[in-house]
Structure 1
Amino acid sequence: MSDQRAARRPPSGAGAAGGAVLALALLAGCTPAAPSDTGFPDVQKMLDQRAQAVRKRDAAGFLASVDPQATGYRDQQKRVLGNLAAVPLTDWHYDLLSTGAFPLPNGGTGERLAAKVRLSYRLKGYDTAPVSAVQYLTLKERDGRWRISSDTDGEAAGKTGTRQLWDQGPVRLVRGRHSLVLGGAGEAARLHDLADRVDAAVPAVSAAWKGPWSRKVIVEAPDTVGRMAQLLGSGEPSGYAGIAAVTTGEAGASAKAPADRVIVNPDAYEELNDMGRKVVLTHETTHVATRTVTTAATPLWLSEGLADWVAYRGTKRKAAVAAPELSRAVATGAPPVRLPTDEDFGFTSGADRLAKAYEGGWLACRMIADKWGEAKLIAFYREAGRTGAPAGSAGAPMEAQRAAATGAPATGGRAAANGKGQPARADRMDRAMRTQLGVGLAEFTRQWRAYVKGQLR
């Protein structure tokens, strides 16, 4: 069950000279399914012992779960446990979900299993519920015991699973007042800078978004875009080219859901200037703050527009500077005729369409704040989220929706992703607008079109 939030181009002056594309994707999960009855209790017992060894930092116990003849994998797993040394774990366990999860490569002797396993863990002081990630493991029976011999055999069938930072190399932690930043061991300056920027973003978001939220942000800073893709469970790093950051989390969930992760693309982020970095991290932090009231009913123009409105709030940037694509459209006599759709936010919608979608959403939220006041904007956002079921209620699994981050439209598993859901959703938005703003969707759209032209002339 999942939802996706997609990409934008930074306005002139906020990004690098070339104009890198920014993005935010909110991947909303659901409560993990219970482990299935796989008929292999000895495998689950081995996984339980492996998890206990991680919690106790017991290298011998951890390596006891690894096939001694899989020397390359064994060496890699030894490094993984060392990479976890600085990570403040408060929980770690595995569940065997299924066997026969992928075709096993030819060769080898003895009994083998292609296992789908769920890793669940929590970071102390940040996660109030476990974060889950799927792994695809090859298990080998040797001397009457099941052991793990590989975690890459499923890749040929597209079963990549989700890597973690500690799978990629040593992990360094930087703790800020409101932030926890995890990244490579040799990147102290970059991690401290991210922590400082998030620490500044949290009070800025809290000043605009009234109400309870954790005021804590976890940032993961991989050292390549390829490793960023691995953290998101995707084998296609090209899908994230130019995307400065992606936020994962459980939208529409209670405050006891796992903490969101802001995952930074080192290539695109480094191309941004100081203003661009501030905008990106404030935007991402806004999504963290609003996660519990963002549902399947919340259109992307509203969730992304609010995040940009918060990010630009107090900067005194002129609309024409912050919305260059719509400014050009207005100047050439082609102003927008409708509010942005969720499909407009797709990663492959094209840079111009994507930029116009973000700029249009931002101007819609800016208009509400100007005409009705900031309190009404926040009240409308909450009302819009209350009119629908929790995000992801359409029923698609999180794994399937992650593919959308590499090319599919940004609607993910939401009911609005197909045409059948659009009229009912528009009716709910109309009611939310009438309740909080006193105008219906048609009148709001008319006023927004006039506002866009007036602000961008």
Structure 2
Amino acid sequence: MAGQGRGRRVRRGRAAGCGLAALLLLAACSAPGPAPDATVGEVQQLLDRRAAAVLKHDEGGYLAAVDPAATGLRSAQRTEFGNLAQVPLTAWTYQVNGVDRQSGTVTARVDLRYRVEGYDTAPVTAARTLTLDERGGRWYVAGDQPAKGAAQLLWQQGRVTAVRGKRSLVLGVGQGAARLHEIADTADAAVPEVSAAWPGRWAGRVVVLVPASLDGMAALLGAPAASYRGIAAVTTGEAGGAAAAPADRVIVNPEAYAVLGDVGRRVVLTHETTHVATRAHTSPATPMWLSEGYADWVGYRDTGRTAPQAAPELQQAVRAGDLPADLPTDADFGFDGGADRLARAYEGGWLACRLIAAHWGEATLARFYAKVGDQPHREGAVEKAMAEELGLSPREFTTMWREYVRDQLA
């Protein structure tokens, strides 16, 4: 999936926002080169049969595509096939995009496309690299791994447990049923909270992935684990996605999520669900202070939390005489600037959206968000939307925001 939403960081104990087997490399006697078209067709037919076996829950048919001599691979593929048992799939296909041949071995560039029943209006695509051996005039899969830079899939981490909520689907690995049901209940409660705040049309449901660990979360995102330490959840999806797009996935960091209280968990999942709801109007034109600030504003909207309770790091800075000069930049939301800087960025964005809602109204805040994201470029997007919805320039708004921050936190 293209694009990645930003997550909510755990601050002081509360919420603030690979393959089936190792690739078997066989010795080559000749330099790689393009394979004949017939080979592409043969490989595609093999994978079509394998895809049909997945949807039919036909383990024998699935394993028939695997090299009979690769006993370790067959065992790993059998395990992964079992891991998929509870995932409600409505589509599973492979698209061969190209092959390179070395003697009797072919390396294929393949897109795996799948849809989760009731949630995906278009396929989720995962790029794979497959190695195939030819035996007795037939091709067999000898290796299957994520393409370079691609992320791992949840069922490659262990057996998936599926819990269906009223408005959510929670897919977990290495998690107890009680934890997954609690997450489903919290996600179910988040959906109407988001719909009450966000007037735009959206699916009104959410898919939540819960891996076994922080490392598992990072593997699902194709990123280093250190980047997400302390982040309770993130949302992945297509920025500015059309209606016919895969459903966004909320990915929970079980280690950070576990230390949160009830309110913190509610804020985290409402925050992430807001990213799901606003995705069609979130684009490169949207600054992070607005996308993260709005998600936090919705998350905290009905919690009764005061500004000092929700923005302790920014309050500490203001009381020390360090009132921010400008709205948070995108760089302020980076992981390399330290936890305090990141927390202040979230809190500053939240207070900016809270100011708009308090002074101009919640409907105006939502229109402002949509107008910024609907612009084709970042340059001028905020200026145009502020002039039309708030009657202010960015400089005038920043001055008003600084006064608001001081009044709320001093």
8 Å contact kept, 2:5–2:275: no
Residue 361 (structure 2) pairs with residue 373 (structure 1):
yes
Alignment partner of 2:113 out of 110, 120, 138: 120
For residue 406 of structure 1, what is the aligned residue in structure 2? none
Cα separation, partners in 2 of 1:143 and 1:110, compared to 1, 3 Å: farther
Contact 1:8–1:355, Cα closer than 8 Å, also in 2: no
C-alpha distance in 2, partners of 1:363/1:328?
15
Picking from 296, 303, 309, the partner of 2:297 is 309
- Aligned-residue RMSD, C-alpha: 2.2
- Cα contact 1:96–1:117 (8 A) shared by 2: yes
Residue identity opposite 1:356 in structure 2: R
Q: 5+ unaligned residues in a row in structure 1: which ranges?
A: 16-21, 24-35, 102-108, 390-424
Q: % of aligned pairs identical? A: 55
Partner letter of residue 228 of structure 1?
M
Letter in 1 for 2:134: E
Deviation string 1:347-378 (CA, Å, 9 cap, x unpaired) is 22211111111011000000001111111101
Residue-pair matches, total: 392
What pairs up with 1:290-305 in 2 under 5 angstroms? 290-305=278-293
Pick from 313, 323, 340: which aligns with 1:352? Answer: 340
Larger mean CA deviation between 323-332 and 187-196 belongs to: 323-332
Alpha-carbon distance in structure 2 between the residues aligned to 1:338 and 1:268: 30
Displacement of 1:8 in angstroms is 4.9
Which aligned pairs between 1:376-387 and structure 2 lie closer than 5 A? Answer: 376-387=364-375
Give the corresponding residue for 2:392: 439
Letter of the 1:159 partner, please give it: K
Task: State how far apart, in whole Å, the 2-side matches of 1:359 and 1:220 are.
Answer: 26
Partners of 1:130 and 1:211 in 2: CA distance: 23
Taking structure 1 as reference, are residues 168 and 8 closer, same or farther at Cα in structure 2, changes over 3 Å only?
closer
Alignment of 1:331-342 (within 5 A): 331-342=319-330
CA shift, 1:37, in A, is 9.6
Amino acid aligned to 1:350? G
Q: Does 1:74 align with 2:74?
A: yes
Q: Distance in 2 between matches of 1:312 and 1:254?
A: 28
- The DSSP-based 3-state class of the residue aligned with 1:139 is strand
Whichever residue aligns with residue 252 of structure 1, its letter is G
| 1:187-223 Cα distance to aligned partner (Å, 9 max, x none) | 2111100000001111111111113211110011111
Q: Which amino acid aligns with 2:44?
A: Q
Structure 1 position 439, deviation (Å): 0.6
Matched, 1:253 2:241: yes
Paired amino acid for 2:316: R
Match of 1:147 among 140, 153, 169: 140
Letter in 1 for 2:398: T
1:199 to 175, 188, 193: 188
Greater displacement, 40-49 / 120-129:
40-49
Query: Structure 1 residues 238 and 73 mapped into 2: Cα distance closer, same or farther (>3 Å)?
Result: farther
Aligned pair partner of 2:351 in 363, 370, 375 = 363
Give the CA deviation at 1:305: 0.3
List alignment gaps of at least 5 residues for structure 2.
Answer: 18-33
Alpha-carbon distance between aligned partners in 2 of 1:373 and 1:145, rounded to the nearest angstrom: 66
Aligned to 2:176: 187
Residue of structure 2 equivalent to 1:97? 97
TM-score, scaled to structure 1 = 0.81
Distance 1:99 1:350, change over 3 A: farther
Describe the SS at the equivalent of 1:162.
coil
Normalized per residue, which structure has more strand? 2
Report the alpha carbon displacement of residue 297 of structure 1 after superposing the two structures with TM.
Answer: 0.8
Q: Does 2:219 correspond to 1:230? A: yes
Distance in 2 (alpha carbons) for counterparts of 1:329 and 1:185: 40
- Within 5 Å, which residues of 2 pair with 1:26-41? 39=37, 40-41=40-41
**Partner amino acid, structure 2, of 1:239:** S
1:14: how far off?
2.7
- Contact kept? 1:430, 1:440, Cα under 8 Å: yes
The structure whose RCO (Cα within 8 Å, separation 6+) is larger is: 1
Residue 275, structure 1, aligned to residue 263, structure 2: yes
Q: What whole-Å deviation, never above 9, does each CA across 1:8-37 have from its counterpart, x for those lacking one?
A: 54455635xxxxxx65xxxxxxxxxxxx99
Q: 2:36 and 2:86 mapped to 1: Cα distance?
A: 34
1:218 to 204, 207, 219: 207
Aligned to 2:162: 173
Asked if residue 264 in structure 1 is aligned to residue 217 in structure 2, the reply is no
SS of the equivalent of 1:211 reads: coil
